[in-house]
Chain A
Amino acid sequence: MKHIDEYRDGALARSLAAAIAREATSGRHYQFMEFCGGHTHAISRYGIEDLLPPNVQMVHGPGCPVCVLPIGRIDDAIRLAMRPQVTLCTYADLMRVPASGGHNLLRAKAAGADIRMVYSTLDAIRIAATELDREVVFFAVGFETTTPPTALAIRLARRKQLSNFSVICNHVLTPPAMRAMLGEPGGAHVRVDGFVGPAHVSTIIGTQPYAQFATEFTKPVVVAGFEPLDVVQAILMLVRQINEGRHEVENQYIRAVTADGNLIAQREIAEIFELRPSFEWRGLGELPMSALRLRDAYADLDAERRFEVATVAAADNPACECGDILRGLKKPADCKLFGTLCSPETPMGSCMVSAEGACAAHWTYGRFRDRARVAVTVTVADKAFA
């Protein structure tokens, strides 16, 4: 398939892997964080760990929108959806995210709440335009990537004078979360030698916002696409920066990302949204200036104001390690619940829900690595390096 196969080429992967193995100096440990869930998924889906030498390790970051959404916000969604006049529209990922008291949106739907899974914000607009007697609320989640489509829906609702449409905004920002990964002085944080920087997010915000990590924290950042070759090439670029003592923002994803990003999208976002002073992230806690809300000019389209949503903070299951996993401090298999009480069928924590979550990716693609390697597994690895 054109524009796909060339980014998944096994022969090219082997030559890049050989370059990494050659250049990753023995006796030195390289620990890189892929910020995005999309990268986590690609690493697991294509078995990229098998292509890396033992001294090059990847740490999964918090860039999974579903995973970082705190329980209280899911509770809000369920409470809203249970109102008889409300139709809640959401991306399907959110349906199984555990809320307080063992609830989730899927169960609320079964109990009679009108919850519709949509592929696009435009589907939600369509529902609002055709079902005028329903209060259609779009539950907006995601990083900078999914913010422009929400902005577009708000614009359309305004233009079409859809008084029955509103948005509950949970959009969050990438750079504050990356800062949180590097930690406040003295706080517990994982060692990160460099970042595989966001792919789709960077198409919107560009590469400039990462300059602070290169200058202030002296960490190299390589913005990379979500295809497996993108990831492997980015890792090689990071190894080279470290070896050469550089800490720069480099762009591996030149086919989609520019330094300035998508200015039209940025303008739309700035026009409709403003920064929240603070927002709670699952696993990372309250992060200042890390999330968006609707500006006063769009208050009529803000479901939080229309329905007077007052988020009640709710605690995670105490045995769930999602918090430490999201901060890269623990691996999925370190959690006592992993694969016992917590699996994609019965997720206890959010990292097990989304396909981009570190736990779900490890469970779905990589958990065979947790056992003592049997002869079979070694054969696979041999083949990979043949």
Chain B
Amino acid sequence: MARAITPRKKIMWTALSWGIGLLIFFPILWTFLTSFKSEATAISDPPVWFLFDWTTENYTTVLERSNYPLALMNSIVIAVGSTILGIIIAVPAAWAMAFVPGKRTKDVLLWMLSTKMLPAVGVLYPLVLIAKYFGIMDSRILLVMILMLINLPIIVWMLYTYFREIPGEILEAARMDGASLKNEIIYVLTPMAVPGIASTILLNIILAWNEAFWTIILTTVNAAPLTKFIASFSAPEGLFYAKLSAASIMAIAPILIMGWFSQKQLVRGLTFGAVK
């Protein structure tokens, strides 16, 4: 920076940014605090902030008395399963498009993206019919497949942009030095591709974890992931704020942490390279 910054200005910007940042983060913070309160404290008037008897009772209640463990398991299976399946299908495709681009490559990429823009309600009933026909309503396999298909364009796209950054000359050099195709893949390509594949996996687990159209409509209990489980709190009985908060925190905490690590990939993955 060529410009000198006065300390006073810097402190002013710091105060303003922290204030706004905390304001935006506040709902999550408040949920976190409430999750450690008793149900009575959770709705006390005036609200209490930090000085209350912190209890982990809500967490144990939610874990023991509800379908939470099943929902958590379903979320993990669906998010991870659909991502891995998507990666298996997408890696060869992205690879071929990045290293052996043809005349049609651009069209294929754009066409894949366009499938992502199909509104879900446009195919709602046929999917319900197909799922019923195969007897897989409310099953994990159905959601794994659907979420894989929804996110496949993003996976292909992200991998493509990562692979394209790998210089082709390195591959040629390896070939000149007499590396076999197997060695070329294991020792040259894979190390360069792993970071890109890893960030693609991360972002897609996040997207699949939070998907809340198909997961709500196509599941009832057996395959219901956390999105659906939490939605069941919308018709509650009696005091439930603290338990809702505990369930919410458990549902978002792992993804929040993963999300913070994938900030950069978010821009790349969701703008399809239109903003650099």
Asked if chains A and B come from one complex, the reply is no
